[in-house]
Each structure stands twice: as structure tokens, then as C-alpha cells.
Amino acid sequence: MTPPVFLSLVFHNHQPVGQFDFVNEHCVKVAYEPFLDLMERHPGVKCGIHFTGSLLDYLIAHQQPLLKRVRALVGRNQLEVLAGGYYEPILVTLPDEDKIGQIHKLAATVEDVFGMKPRGMWLAERVWEPHLVRPIAMAGIEYVIIDDTHFEAAGYNIERELFGYFVSEEQGYTVNVFPTLSYLRYAIPWDTVPNLMAWLRARAEESWPHPQPKLAFMGDDGEKFGVWPGTHEHNWGEGDYMETLFSSLDEASAWVQTIRPCDYMDQYSALGRVYLPTASYFEMGQWALPAERFRELKRVRKEFQDQHREDVLRYLRGSIWRNFMIKYDEVNHMHKRMMLVADKVHAMPEGSDKSRALDLLWRAQANDAYWHGLFGGVYLFNFRVANYANLIEAEELAEGANALLAVREMDFDKDSQTEIVLTGASFNAIWKPGTGGAMFELDYRPMRYNLLNIMTRREEGYHTEIRAAASTGMIVTPEMEAGGVTFEGRDAVRAKEFGIEQYLIYDWHRRGAFIDHFLREDVDLQAFFRAFYGEQGDFVTLPYEVELQGGGKET
């Protein structure tokens, strides 16, 4: 008998390229293993799971017993394993051949490790643009998971119209799209299990104009179930949320059944066509805004939330993901460096060197260092180091052992101005004459290290909250929490260390090398550090003229 409602749960597990092994091991112990324990205790509950390639690389090297457990759950049709871009790239920013190549690589690894050819994929940060349908379909993927807010932006009622999947098309190619519901992403695990079951019961009893049974779909981060602060105890410890949830689903199987996305897709057709706009989840759009607009959107949204103005809230959204390449010059620089290397790698003849170079290029496309939101992102030095190291090594392979010194004038960062790019020597270098003649990249190739891998100190939208919390003694550090010190209320702010507000200093120009400063005589080192000093000229940001002088082998 077909139940009135199906529930599909997909858990996305990711650790970045360059992540420390001790962090990966911690995630296994507090989140990934407890989830598998739960699945084994409840064989009637079916789910989907996704491992990014960077995490799989670690698991293959260090956690073979865990992988065998996943394979066993797949073998009894309890788990479905999804594909995606191997190193969790923001797909919209890649050349199409890399989109397809990364998906193929993870699909092949999933089939080899787990014995299942993946049919669906996880879209990194759910960053969607309409053109993605074509390369995803060309990669052999049948469905993708996207937020319900994407559908809301296209005019759908997310509370009544999204209980199933849709099909999207681009240039004759089609891909199925499952909307992950905002309520379920919040409710699991933050609402009580009785409230969640009551919500599912209400969905089962509501009228439904389609012949397909309702599908309530949730796809969310696996780290939310044990890695995030406080979630291990809530989910697996005294709170025991996940055990309570799965037991309740077992007991309610007469009217709600869990199902893998692939099984629902095999049994029931799509609800219809859909053409979705460029979008990601709400917070991503907010993070992509400049600091002032970030705070403004947050304030406006709260005002309408307090007024319960859903008729207005559904139309509120921030910027698109690509705006991170405007907000952070360092992100744009790394992306354009990746594109430059991609051109060289794709031009290589087929063979083992090209295969190695492609993998290095794909590693450097890992999304974590290309944006900033709730977590560190581009500010995390180890992620940027890993990306540049992979790019430098890939470029070395593409150029060959006897690469000649090359100096090119080109619009490297795509701002209509000419930059100078030097490659093929022991050092790579990139100058920007239009910005004070500064150098913004200097790679020491033997060590595969970018010596100018630095960040400009800039204002973030949440900095005002840090200052406000510091002024009232409401900063909470990990050491304080470990000692049992907590604060209640929305004014408390978590920070990595006490006194962090003292470091909220902002540069007035992009940081780089060989920038000409003509300082006033009263400027000392502390004033320079605090970016609070006077200049006697305007050389820092204004354009310089360039003359390339060549003779023989020298330029």
C-alpha cells in the first residue's frame, strides 16, 4: 500500500582540500560513525549520503572499516550514495570540461568504493545557474538537489507545491531537480521529534492535486549531526535526537515511509517542468553582499520576520555567489589564476602527466577558499596554501621540464586593465600596473608556495556584532565554553579568542608587494600596522606606466 507521504533524507559529508587529518578523524568519531551506527540499528529507514572526494581520499587512506559499512548498507538498498564535483567546486565558475570531469571522477570512485553507480549529485553550496543543466546531464547525472528558496524565487509556494521533484531543461538536455525543504532542514534536528512528526502527519492529511504521492525531501550537512558546536550531545548524547527520530519513523511506517531519491524517481514521475533562476540559499546571498548591505538586509529581514510578513520575506534575497569575486580581490585573483592554469592543462596531450595535472587543477577548484560566510573560507590560510600549491604544480606539469621564461601583457583579472604575468622561471609573478604598480602574486615554484598569499583587512558585516558583544562582556570563546561559561540570549557572540575586537582593523588599499609609500615623518610602525597614517603622495593606488625591455634571453 502506498503511504500518503514519503520522506527522503540525504546527508552531505564534506571536508576541504587541505583539511588537517585530526579534524577529519574528529568528524568521523562524532558524526559519521554515529550515523552509520544509527542506520544499522534501523534497517527500515532509508537515506541518501554524499561524500566529497577530498573527504573520500582521507577515508580511503585511513578509514576502510567505515567505507565497508557504507558499502554493506548500499548492498541492502538502505543507502544511496550520490556523486558531485569531486573536490566540491562551485560548478558555475568552472570550464564545462572541468564540471564534467570532476563529476565523472567522483561517480567512478563511488562506484568503485561502494558498488553503486550514482544517479544523483550534491551541488556545492546549492549555487545554481540555469546553464548547469547541460553539463550535469552530459556527465550522466539524473538528478540534483536544490533549495526550496530557488523555487520560491521562481514563484512556487514552498509550503504546498514542492512535495516531489521537477525536471529542468537546457539546450535539449534535462535533469531532475529535488527541492530540499527549509522547514525540514531546520526541524531536523532543532525542532522536537513530536512537532516534526505532527508536521509530516499534517502533510499526509492535506489534499494533493497530483497522482504521485507526496515526497518531503531534506538534504543537509552531515556535520550538523555531531561536528557543529553542541550538536554531538544533542543528537547522540543526552539529547538522543536522531535515535528518537528514527524510532518514531519506524513506528509511523503505516503513513510515512522513508525512501531513497533514486527509488522515488523510479516509481513516480516528475510534478512538471521548472526553470530556476540563479540562486543559492538565503545566507549565501547575504554573505556575498558588502558589509553595509549585509547589515541592512539582516535588519530589514528581521523587521519583516517580527511582523510575520511572509508575503514580503519570500521576495527578499541578497547577491549571487559570483559577487564574492567582487567583494574579495583575493578570491577573484585565485579564480583567474585557476582559469589561466586550466587553459594550459586542457591543452596538454593525453597521458599520465595530463591526468595528474587535471587532478591538481581540480583540487585547486575546491570551493572552500573562494568565499566567506559562517566559517573561515578564504580567510583560512591553509586552504589558500593548498589551492596555490596545486595550481603551481599543475602549471609546472603543463609547461614541461624545459619551460621557457614568458612575460605576457594581458587582462589577467578581467577588469579591462592590463596586467603583467611572468611564468616559466623559478618564480611566477603577477603585477598590476593600474593599481600602484603593485605585485599581487609571487610564487616560489620549487616549494610550490605563493609568497604573497595574503589577505587585505576589510570590514565584514558581522563585525559590529563582535564589537557590541565585546563592549558588554558577551564574547564566548571555546575555552570559556569548555570551562562551563555560557551566555544566554541573542547578544552573545562566539569568537575564537578573547579580545578579537582589537584586531578589527581595515586596510584602505589592497595589500601587495612593491607598493610605493611616501609617509609623513610622524608615522611609526604601530600607526602603519593600524592603517592610520598620512601619505605624502598618491602612488599607492594610481596607475603606473609599463615598459617591457627585451634583449636576447632577458626581459
Give the residue numbers annotated as catalytic, written as ranges.
Answer: 125, 221
Q: Which residues of 451-462 are buried (b: 16+ CB within 10 A; e: fewer)?
A: ebbebeebebbb
265, 259 contact by CB (below 8 A): no
* Alpha-helical regions (H) of 218-309: 231-236, 241-251, 261-267, 282-287, 291-306
Q: Which residues of 104-143 are buried (b: 16+ CB within 10 A; e: fewer)?
A: bbbbebbeebbebebbbbbbbbbbbbeebbbbbbebebbb
Give the three cell numbers for residue 295. Answer: 547589515
145, 168 contact by CB (below 8 A): no
C-alpha pair distances (Å), 55 with each of 58, 154, 263: 5, 34, 26
Distance from C-alpha of 547 to C-alpha of 542, rounded to nearest angstrom: 17
**Strand pairing report for 173-180 and 143-147:** parallel
C-alpha pair distances (Å), 517 with each of 300, 455, 521, 538, 545: 41, 19, 12, 8, 17
SS (H, E, C) 166-206: EEEEECCEEEEEEEECHHHHHHHHHCCHHHHHHHHHHHHHC
Distance from C-alpha of 136 to C-alpha of 138, rounded to nearest angstrom: 5
Chain-centre distance for alpha carbon 239: 29
Q: Which residues of 32-57 are buried (b: 16+ CB within 10 A; e: fewer)?
A: bbbbbebbeebeebbbbbbbbbbbbb
Distance from C-alpha of 73 to C-alpha of 44, rounded to nearest angstrom: 11
